[in-house]
Amino acid sequence: MQIEEMRLDGNAAGGVLRDVFAHDMTAAIATCEGCGKMGPIGALLDYAHGMGVVLRCPTCDMPVLRIARMHGQFRLDLSGIRWLTIPESTSPDRTDAMT
Ligand SMILES: [Zn+2]
């Protein structure tokens, strides 16, 4: 199979994107781009403000995840995350996997 035959547009990833973002993200494990510390999103330090939240690394204080809510949209800045690992067992559709 040629590489051109495998290429689709982003709509083809709609199913997996829906699976990924349907999880309880506080259980997802983020690796800080600043210091490499790995830990659950729920353990980051939350600096909430009017337009959204800034979640900072508890070790190096780098902004790991920024979420702004404006004009009917969410805008995410994930540049402080080296890796984001989301356990499949936290999906609301996968409650069978949690038992
Ligand atoms: Zn850090």
Tokens matching residue 14: 């709609």
Q: What is the pTM of this model?
A: 0.78
How many structural domains are present in the chain? 1
Q: Which of 7-11, 48-52, 73-77, 92-96 has the lowest mean pLDDT?
A: 92-96
The b-or-e profile of 52-72 (16+ CB within 10 A means b, else e) is bebbbbeeeeebbbbebeeee
Cα 54 from Cα 47, distance rounded (Å):
5
Q: What does the pLDDT read at residue 95?
A: 46
The alpha carbon of 3 and the centre of ligand 1 are apart by a number of angstroms equal to 38
How confident is residue 76, by pLDDT bands cut at 50, 70 and 90? very high
Q: What does the pLDDT read at residue 45?
A: 96
Does residue 31 carry a pLDDT above 60?
Answer: yes
Q: Which residues surround ligand 1, an ion (CB under 5 A)?
A: 32, 34-35, 37, 57, 59-60, 62
Say which residues have a Cβ less than 8 Å from residue 83's Cβ, sequence separation at least 6: 29, 30, 31, 38
The continuous run of DSSP H or E covering 6 comes out as helix 3-6
Residue 50: domain span = 3-98
